[in-house]
Structure 1
């Protein structure tokens, strides 16, 4: 009997032990599942919050001018960061001392211009470098957005036909941008200042191509693409070799896949009428402004002098073709190629079409202007055998195509 009792005791103990082990395993599994559900719920909740925030962010774009991307979404944070010594590694643009700039500009007495951002001064640095310094006007609230736009965009945009941002200053409650000094000033001054020697026709076409190449890079070489939004003659600067560079990126914005709605920004006369109506800016807004600039080069008039009304006068169909010769700048004294004039004017007229989709792309514009210059060079060469002339033409075309390919990359 005693042995039977011991056996029963061992059996009961084994059963109880087994049940306890099963209970522990089940409890552990339940805990793990609850913990997993908690994590999943947190993840979903975070995802939902991100989606909701993105939707709210997208909605907040409507009717506003400044982008709500990570670059501009917290302007005060970026401005504070720009004042720190370590910001050079963040944006890649050197930071200059306010005192050094003050000394280089002779206490800000070397004014060379005035823009929407503020006054511009010539600075002769102790290093031997010569800069143009744009100083944000104290009463310019929008200037803070423009200051950030230029620093953040030009830190990553580099092209022969864009001005180079060489540095900035952000201290003493002053915001400044430092550029390479462009010794020949703006295109505006050469076209409209009586004290300047009139630009030749050949140089005007070359300048147009320089500007077009700069815009082509913004539209197709930059990632993501950039819309300049303020192309005008005063924003085209000329270096010592009269090579043109696009300047002033304060209003520039990324060209997203989805059209962007904004307040109307730009300069009267250069602004795309379709943009004014729809409040949506695209690359074709720059194309329209470039068309106006082409007509400014042709006529020597700016939009404030009734430029586009003057152009419409030439489009009156009296004899079956456009009379572009009637509106050419009188300062050219008739020294221009009539065929080139017709090609450039026709290109400009297509650029200012009221319907944006009918306008050419900046890539098409570069190809057209390049072709005009290539034909001019070929015509000026001495007579050659057909084979030699053909070979040189193929070489020029190949060089242009390679240059375009490099810009696109």
Structure 2
């Protein structure tokens, strides 16, 4: 009996000790939680809308959060250190992407209260803005009734935060304040390719420039498909999404519908622009890099024909191909604004490439790397022809000068020249 009583006492003692230890551990955990809670509160006090940014395609993610409204002094944070940066705020920025967070007031002031409208797209209005730093930018504002929405806003910031190429439009900042979502880009002074193709007020694009623009676009897409990690499918290549800078160099814009290739390629709803859409994508609802190749082929024919794809361009091309066998004779579809000023061989080469790109079978379409190589060869051949013509012209001028010098020589000198020629002829006869 005494043994059972002592065993019970020992058991109770052990239980009490364990309970005390658990209570002490719980106390310290509770205390540590409360010490960290203010920091968590400060972080979560920002508005819920966040933009995940993937740093250079690696798996680690940084979150671009909306700053709280009404801060008097805009600050920039990089590598955990705060410093002043004019009137721009930079918060939780991926240092490699250098995406800045602008305040609503900054952009309101820079656009003169959003009165400097320069364009209107499916996303919303686009304004020209003059920043306090003197830099001119374009501000794209997500319309409240936009067909694309906040998801596309986040997609564009996420992708352009890590994509950098001379033939892609650079995203320099964003704003998500007062219920507004805005994207800030480098200002492309020459506007869209579509405006130069269809605006009668603008001078028609020369053929040589059209081919160069095609190569610029091809290089931008090649970078997305083969240079970006993971690869990116643009999904909305069209002339209104190709912007031109001061020197008429082309850059691909509008990445709201773009997707990383590693993401599921199957979609429930078809997204894009009618006339540019890959037929295989429409039938299977599965997009690939070759979907971009198809759209690029349509763009090539748009450059050749000066005809809007929304007005049955592909049907027009198919009719022409019945007589051209897809390789030559494409001059009958050329843009009338070119006024016949183009190299026929170049025209047929570019059209033949475009026709391969719009093949209904995706597997038979070339890759963007192939298109870059073909267009580069076309331009290289052009330069070689020009160099050859300059060489022939220089030779002709030299001959003309020599003839003029002969004409100014004395009759005796001329007679001697004739004699020398006769003697050479005699020697060959012998």
- What interval of TM-score do these two structures reach, taking the shorter chain for normalisation? 0.7 to 0.9
| Pairing of 1:157-176 with structure 2 (within 5 A) | 157-176=163-182
Aligned 8 A contact 2:53 2:157 in 1? no
1:86 aligns with 2:80: no
Aligned 8 A contact 1:314 1:322 in 2? no
Distance apart, 1:116 and its partner CA: 1.1
**Aligned partner of 2:123 among 107, 117, 123:** 117
- Structure possessing the higher relative contact order (Cα contacts under 8 Å, 6 or more residues apart): 1
**Aligned partner of 2:154 among 141, 148, 156:** 148
1:314 aligns with 2:320: yes
Distance apart, 1:258 and its partner CA: 6.5
**In 1, distance between residues paired with 2:335 and 2:283?**
32
1:278 aligns with 2:284: yes
**In 1, distance between residues paired with 2:250 and 2:363?**
27
**Aligned partner of 1:238 among 241, 244, 260:** 244
Aligned 8 A contact 2:99 2:161 in 1? yes
Question: Residue 272 and residue 126 in structure 1: after superposition, are their counterparts in 2 closer, same or farther (change >3 A)?
Answer: same
Question: Residue 246 and residue 321 in structure 1: after superposition, are their counterparts in 2 closer, same or farther (change >3 A)?
Answer: closer
Flag the structure with higher helix content.
1
What RMSD over aligned residues (CA atoms) do the two structures have, in Å?
2.4
Distance apart, 1:80 and its partner CA: 8.1
Distance apart, 1:309 and its partner CA: 1.7
Aligned 8 A contact 1:161 1:210 in 2? yes
Distance apart, 1:321 and its partner CA: 6.3
Aligned 8 A contact 2:257 2:272 in 1? yes
| Pairing of 1:54-65 with structure 2 (within 5 A) | none
Q: Is the partner of 2:176 in helix, strand or coil?
A: strand
**In 2, distance between residues paired with 1:190 and 1:318?**
28
1:103 aligns with 2:87: no
Question: Residue 320 and residue 267 in structure 1: after superposition, are their counterparts in 2 closer, same or farther (change >3 A)?
Answer: closer
Aligned 8 A contact 1:262 1:280 in 2? no
Question: Residue 311 and residue 126 in structure 1: after superposition, are their counterparts in 2 closer, same or farther (change >3 A)?
Answer: same
**In 2, distance between residues paired with 1:121 and 1:174?**
14
Question: Residue 321 and residue 232 in structure 1: after superposition, are their counterparts in 2 closer, same or farther (change >3 A)?
Answer: closer
Aligned 8 A contact 2:156 2:254 in 1? yes
Distance apart, 1:368 and its partner CA: 0.1
Task: Give 1:227's aligned residue.
Answer: 233
Question: Residue 358 and residue 142 in structure 1: after superposition, are their counterparts in 2 closer, same or farther (change >3 A)?
Answer: same
Q: Which consecutive residues of structure 1, in runs of 5 or more, have no partner in the other structure? A: 1-68, 72-77, 386-409
**TM-score, length-normalised on structure 1?**
0.72
Aligned 8 A contact 2:148 2:256 in 1? no
Question: Residue 132 and residue 355 in structure 1: after superposition, are their counterparts in 2 closer, same or farther (change >3 A)?
Answer: same
1:369 aligns with 2:375: yes
**In 1, distance between residues paired with 2:117 and 2:371?**
36
Question: Residue 321 and residue 92 in structure 1: after superposition, are their counterparts in 2 closer, same or farther (change >3 A)?
Answer: closer
Distance apart, 1:317 and its partner CA: 2.9
Question: Residue 352 and residue 89 in structure 1: after superposition, are their counterparts in 2 closer, same or farther (change >3 A)?
Answer: closer
Q: Which stretch has the larger CA shift, 269-278 or 90-99?
A: 90-99
Q: Is the partner of 1:381 in helix, strand or coil?
A: helix
Task: Give 1:66's aligned residue.
Answer: none
**In 1, distance between residues paired with 2:311 and 2:202?**
19
Question: Residue 169 and residue 258 in structure 1: after superposition, are their counterparts in 2 closer, same or farther (change >3 A)?
Answer: closer
**TM-score, length-normalised on structure 2?**
0.69
Distance apart, 1:88 and its partner CA: 2.2
**In 2, distance between residues paired with 1:225 and 1:104?**
35
Task: Give 1:188's aligned residue.
Answer: 194
Q: Is the partner of 1:196 in helix, strand or coil?
A: coil
**In 1, distance between residues paired with 2:326 and 2:290?**
29
Task: Give 1:336's aligned residue.
Answer: 342
Aligned 8 A contact 2:188 2:243 in 1? yes
Distance apart, 1:142 and its partner CA: 3.1
Q: Which consecutive residues of structure 2, in runs of 5 or more, have no partner in the other structure? A: 1-51, 55-61, 69-89, 392-430
Question: Residue 304 and residue 153 in structure 1: after superposition, are their counterparts in 2 closer, same or farther (change >3 A)?
Answer: same
**In 2, distance between residues paired with 1:234 and 1:227?**
18
Distance apart, 1:382 and its partner CA: 4.0
Q: Which stretch has the larger CA shift, 86-95 or 372-381?
A: 86-95
Deviation per CA, 1:202-226: give whole Å up to 9, x if none.
0000000000000000000000000
- Count of residues paired in the alignment: 313
Task: Give 2:212's aligned residue.
Answer: 206
